[in-house]
Chains A and B, each alone.
Chain A
Amino acid sequence: MDGLKFTTSLDNSFSKSMNQSRGKSAVGPRIIAVLVIVLIILHQDYWFWDNDTLVLGIMPLALFYHICISIAASGVWVLATKIAWPEETIARIEHGNRAGTAVSKSDSVSESAGGAD
Chain B
Amino acid sequence: MAREGLLQLLVITVYLVALLALGLFSNRLFKGTKQDYQLASHSIGPFLLLMSLFGTTMTAFALVGSTGEAFREGVGVYGLLASSSGIVHSLCFFVVGVKVWTLARKNGYTTQIEFFRDRLDSNFIGLLLFPILVGLVIPYLLIGVISSGATIQALTAGLAPDWFPAMLADGTTVNKPLHGGIPPWLGSLVICSVVLVYVFFGGMRGTTWANTFQTIIFMLLGVVTFYVIATKLGGEDSLLANLQKLGASIPTEKATRGEISKTKFLTYLLIPLSVGMFPHLFQHWMTARSANAFKLPVIWHPIFIMIVWVPCILLGVWAAGSLMPSSPPLPTLPNGTVDPNKVLPFLVNTQTSQWLSGFLAAGILAAIMSSLDSQFLCIGTIFNNDIVTHYFGKHGITDRRQVLYTRLFIILIVAITYFLSLGNVRSVFALGVWCFSGFTALFPIVVAALYWRGLSAAGAISGIFAAIISWCILFYYGLQVPVSEGGLSNFLIRVPFGNDSFEIMPVAVMILSSLVTMVAVSLVTPKPRPETLAKFFND
Contacts from A to B (Cβ < 8 Å): 2, 5-6, 9-10, 12-14, 16-18, 20, 36, 39-40, 43-46, 49-52, 54, 56-63, 65-67, 69-71, 73-74, 77-78, 80-81, 85-86, 89-90, 93-94, 96-97, 101-110, 112-117
Query: B109, A105: Cβ atoms under 8 Å?
Result: yes
Q: Is the Cβ of A43 less than 8 Å from the Cβ of B269?
A: yes
Contact B83 A58 (CB under 8 A): no
Write out the residue numbers on chain A whose beta carbons fall within 8 Å of the beta carbon of B87: 36, 39-40, 43, 69, 73
Question: Which of A6, A46, A116 has its CB near the most chain B CB atoms (within 10 A)?
Answer: A116
Measured in the bound complex, the distance between the Cα atoms of B200 and A89 in whole Å is 35
Check A44 against B265 for contact (C-beta < 8 Å): yes
Q: Is the CB of A70 within 8 A of B398?
A: no
Pick from B57-65, B254-262, B274-282, B417-425 the stretch touching chain A.
B254-262
Tell me whether B108 and A107 are in contact (CB under 8 A).
yes
Size bin of chain B's contact surface: 35 or more
Taking A2-B523, A70-B303 as given, write out 15 further A-B residue pairs in contact, using a Cβ cutoff of 8 Å, ordered by the A residue number: A5-B454, A43-B79, A49-B262, A50-B258, A56-B244, A63-B310, A66-B79, A73-B83, A77-B302, A80-B298, A85-B292, A86-B291, A104-B108, A105-B107, A108-B108
Given A44-B266, A106-B385, A109-B396, check contact A10 B256 (CB 8 Å): no
Contact between B244 and A106, CB atoms less than 8 A apart: no
- Check B299 for interface membership: any CB of A closer than 8 A: yes
Q: How far is the CA of A103 from the CA of B104 in the complex (A)?
A: 10
10 tightest Cβ-Cβ pairs between the two chains A and B: A113-B396, A60-B255, A104-B108, A66-B83, A63-B75, A90-B291, A73-B302, A57-B244, A70-B306, A52-B255
The stretch of B10-18, B91-99, B221-229, B352-360 in contact with A is B91-99
A56 to B246 Cα, complex, angstroms: 12
**Shortest Cβ gap from A79 to chain B (Å):** 10
Within 8 A of A (CB), among B66-107: 74-76, 78-79, 82-84, 86-87, 90-91, 94-95, 98-99, 102, 105-107
Query: Is B399's CB under 8 angstroms from A116's CB?
Result: yes
Report yes or no: A94 in contact with B290, Cβ–Cβ below 8 A. Answer: yes
C-alpha gap A60/B399 in the complex (Å): 56
Q: Is A40 within 8 A of B269, CB to CB?
A: yes
| 6 pairs of residues in contact across A and B, judged by CB atoms under 8 Å | A12-B539, A16-B538, A54-B247, A60-B317, A62-B257, A89-B538
Q: Given the known A-B contacts A104-B108, A116-B32, A116-B399, are A54 and B255 also in contact in the complex, defined by CB atoms under 8 Å?
A: yes
Chain A residue, CB-CB nearest to B539: A16
Decide: A96 near B106, CB < 8 A? Known: A73-B302, A116-B32. Answer: yes
Residue contact A6 to B451, C-beta cutoff 8 Å: no
Residue of A nearest to B242 (CB): A58
- B111 nearest CB across to chain A (Å): 10
Q: Which of B488-506 contact A (CB under 8 A)?
A: none
Query: Given A6-B454, A49-B256, do A58 and B247 touch, yes or no (CB 8 Å)?
Result: yes
| A74-B299 contact, Cβ under 8 Å, with A63-B75, A102-B108, A104-B35 | yes
Nearest CB on A from B313, distance (A): 6
Query: B513-533 CB contact bits vs A (8 Å, 1 = yes)?
Result: 000000100010000000000
Specify the chain B residue showing the minimal Cβ separation from A101: B106
Min C-beta distance of B465 to chain A, whole Å? 20
* Complex Cα spacing A113 to B393, Å: 10
**Contact between B398 and A71, CB atoms less than 8 A apart:** no
Interface centre among A17, A60, A63, A89 (most CB of B within 10 A): A63
Q: How far is the CA of A73 from the CA of B398 in the complex (A)?
A: 46
Q: Which residues of B contact A14 (CB under 8 A)?
A: 95, 451
Min C-beta distance of B308 to chain A, whole Å: 11
Cβ of B476 < 8 Å from any Cβ of A? no
Report B185-196 CB contacts with A as 1/0, cut-off 8 Å: 000000000000
The answer to whether A93 and B298 touch across the interface, beta carbons within 8 angstroms, is: no
Specify which chain B residues have a CB less than 8 angstroms from the CB of A102 in the assembled complex.
Answer: 105-108
Contact assessment for A13 and B83 in the assembled complex, using a CB-CB cutoff below 8 Å: no
Could you tell me the distance between the alpha carbons of A73 and B519 in the complex, rounded to whole angstroms?
Answer: 30
Contacting pair B98 A86 (CB below 8 A): yes
